[in-house]
Structure 1
């Protein structure tokens, strides 16, 4: 008699455990993607701010639920004053963007030469490197000037941002619109 009551309790316990497992399955969330106004402080040069707006697309995952990972994101970086900006993408855990600058380097004679600036930064350590590449237009040998910088959070964005603006269909190819 005691054995049959104990066996009868097993399906009820499994149903409760199954309900807990189903109830706890939710959307997969990644670490927070950078968003807001950040202080940009180079090792040498002019400081300023970066305003960063994220825009993401849900990653397919296993086709049951979209995965919200930063690999599906792009950071729209807007620089203040003399700072350049661009669209940063994530590669190897580092955010990076490249921007051509028409008047990037002043030559010894006072004229200006174009450069290409590459910014790489880590959102975990809030540090990065600015690389200015010049091709020797000023009579100087071509080269790359690397300058480290740090970022610090200043304030939230002035307007709300929909981080995942696209709606993806629920199955199959996961076309987004």
Structure 2
């Protein structure tokens, strides 16, 4: 009887540990601040601020960790680097942007549309920028996807301080958090 009870306790502890580690590796931290973007000789700043929405639980307990986050990435419009709203997919933040005049044709006078996709890992602070386009410029440029690696480096906090967590939730029926 004692061996069975001990095995049950060990099995329960192992199951709890496995379930506890199944979540995101760093749910307590979401990128926020000013980051330096470097892609070869292209250097720019990204201002990244998260918006997180409580989507789980019944909100009777204060929320200490960010959930359901989206990163708003703002870039200086004068650079070749885009900005957008990044979502976490398979551990990588991703956003895409369309540029109507993103590719200059060989004649130098006309342009063609492109789609840029940025994917980055907030743990390694590195990512890729993919530029895709279809057959453009009257058939002079064939469809292609060009991929460029980039790195990110934290430069400082957001210009305006933001209090994110914990969210304090009202008791009772309204379930509003602030």
TM-score w.r.t. the length of structure 2 is 0.71
Structure 1: gaps (5+ residues)? 1-28
Going by fraction, where is helix more abundant, 1 or 2?
A: 1
CA drift of 1:115 comes to 0.5
1:63–1:171 CA contact under 8 A, matched in 2: no
Structure 2: gaps (5+ residues)? 1-25
Aligned to 1:137: 136
CA deviations over 1:49-100 (Å, ceiling 9, x no partner): 1000111112314765365555511111001222210001111111111111
Distance 1:70 1:91 in 2: 16
CA deviations over 1:102-149 (Å, ceiling 9, x no partner): 121111111211101100000000000101111121221111101010
SS in 1 for 2:148: strand
After superposing on structure 2, the runs of 4+ consecutive aligned residues of structure 1 that deviate more than 2 Å are 61-71, 161-164, 166-177
Indicate how the Cα distance of structure 1 residues 168 and 120 shifts in structure 2: closer, same or farther if over 3 A, else same.
farther
Distance 2:54 2:156 in 1: 26
Query: Which shifted more, 59-68 or 142-151?
Result: 59-68
Distance 1:175 1:143 in 2: 48
Equivalent pairs counted in the alignment come to 148
Q: Which of 29, 36, 51 is the matching residue for 1:55?
A: 51
RMSD: 2.8
